[in-house]
């Protein structure tokens, strides 16, 4: 189980949320409160949008809490949109290409959860990735495969549709595999302008936590609150999508057919 945060708003130094808060993401890497295990020490990553349409990326296999570089980068890099992720590996090795976030062109993605029993559906999910994107598969995680499948499903022209269709297809694969492990998909996707955050699981009650808060147009989304004032954080309901548009207020929408998911 991993921990992540996503930010969209005025340009700020990344440290504002990654390292400074009492219960910052880096603090969560060694002492998470709402994760299955307290430690997410299997690598981490930062991705940010600044002067280019494509995001910058820093990923490392060492734990976030002891990485001096991370502290410097969070202090010196400013961005209006960024992702940060600390990893607790499930079954794939601790390598940089297996760390989140993943990027491709303008797109960036990160994930907390797992696609059921990856061994059972890996080939099918990889089969969703068109050749043009498969050459970008440099790691072996289920998360990267899901990202490339979403891109292959038409994210260029319909990001939300590609996201929804791909998760629905993977959910079908998990069901058909006869797997009894949950499909957990608490994730964030952006093209550098619109930000989508999903809290989804099959079965629904297995959904990993997700929270957000809004402050004067700046939106922070996080696996668990970053500070003691839990009251200012809103929980994203299970199987919902939080949309943070290029401009305007964030809004919540149901994600996939809940009745159908509940009926499983």
Determine the interface stretch with its own copies among 106-114, 133-141, 244-252, 255-263 (rule: CB under 8 A): 133-141
| Helices (H), ranges, 68-186 | 68-76, 118-127, 131-134, 142-152, 159-176
Determine the interface stretch with its own copies among 49-57, 155-163, 176-184, 232-240 (rule: CB under 8 A): 49-57
Min dist CB 259 to its own copies, Å, is 34
The smaller minimum CB distance to its own copies, of residues 66 and 161, is found at: 66
- Closest Cα to residue 148, out of 168, 164, 163, 169? 163
Determine the interface stretch with its own copies among 132-140, 194-202, 224-232, 256-264 (rule: CB under 8 A): 132-140
Pairwise CA distance, residues 65 & 43, whole Å = 10
3-state SS assignment for residue 23: coil
Give the Cα-Cα-Cα angle 231, 233, 236 (nearest 5 degrees). 130
Min dist CB 169 to its own copies, Å, is 19
Min dist CB 161 to its own copies, Å, is 26
- Closest Cα to residue 112, out of 36, 172, 50, 49? 36
Of 76-95, which residues contact its own copies (CB under 8 A)? 76-78, 89, 92-95
Of 209-228, which residues contact its own copies (CB under 8 A)? none
Determine the interface stretch with its own copies among 63-71, 164-172, 205-213, 222-230 (rule: CB under 8 A): 63-71
119 binds its own copies (CB under 8 A): yes
The smaller minimum CB distance to its own copies, of residues 58 and 212, is found at: 58
Determine the interface stretch with its own copies among 73-81, 155-163, 203-211, 240-248 (rule: CB under 8 A): 73-81
Residue 111's DSSP bridge partners are 187
Q: b/e per residue, 17-40, with b = 16+ CB within 10 A?
A: bbbbbebbbbbbbeebeebeeeeb
The 3-state DSSP composition of the chain as helix, strand, coil percent (nearest 5) reads: 30, 30, 40
Is there a contact between 196 and 242 (Cβ–Cβ < 8 Å)?
yes
Q: Would you tell me which residues interact with its own copies (CB under 8 A)?
A: 13, 30, 37-39, 41-42, 48, 50-52, 56-63, 65-66, 68-69, 72-73, 75-78, 89, 92-97, 119, 122-123, 131, 134-135, 137-140
């Amino acid at each position: 189980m991993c921990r992540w945060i996503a930010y969209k708003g005025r340009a700020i130094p990344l440290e504002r949320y990654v390292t400074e808060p009492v219960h910052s993401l880096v603090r969560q890497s060694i002492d998470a409160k709402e994760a299955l295990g307290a430690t997410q020490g299997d690598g981490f990553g930062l991705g940010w949008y600044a002067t280019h349409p494509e995001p910058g990326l820093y990923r490392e296999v060492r734990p976030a809490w002891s990485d001096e570089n991370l502290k410097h980068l969070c202090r010196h890099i400013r961005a209006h949109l960024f992702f940060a992720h600390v990893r607790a590996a499930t079954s794939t090795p601790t390598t940089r290409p297996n760390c989140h976030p993943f990027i491709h062109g303008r797109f960036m993605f990160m994930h907390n959860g797992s696609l059921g029993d990856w061994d059972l559906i890996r080939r099918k999910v990889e089969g969703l990735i068109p050749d043009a994107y498969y050459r970008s598969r440099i790691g072996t995680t289920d998360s990267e495969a899901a990202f490339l499948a979403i891109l292959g499903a038409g994210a260029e022209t319909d990001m939300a549709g590609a996201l929804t269709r791909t998760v629905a297809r993977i959910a079908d694969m998990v069901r058909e595999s006869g797997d009894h492990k949950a499909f957990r998909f608490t994730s964030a996707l952006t093209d550098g302008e619109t930000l989508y955050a999903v809290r989804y699981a099959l079965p629904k009650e297995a959904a990993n936590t997700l929270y957000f808060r809004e402050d004067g147009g700046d939106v922070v989304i996080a696996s668990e609150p970053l500070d003691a004032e839990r009251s200012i954080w809103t929980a994203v309901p299970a199987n919902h999508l939080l949309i943070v548009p290029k401009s305007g207020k964030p809004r919540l929408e149901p994600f996939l057919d809940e009745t159908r998911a509940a009926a499983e």
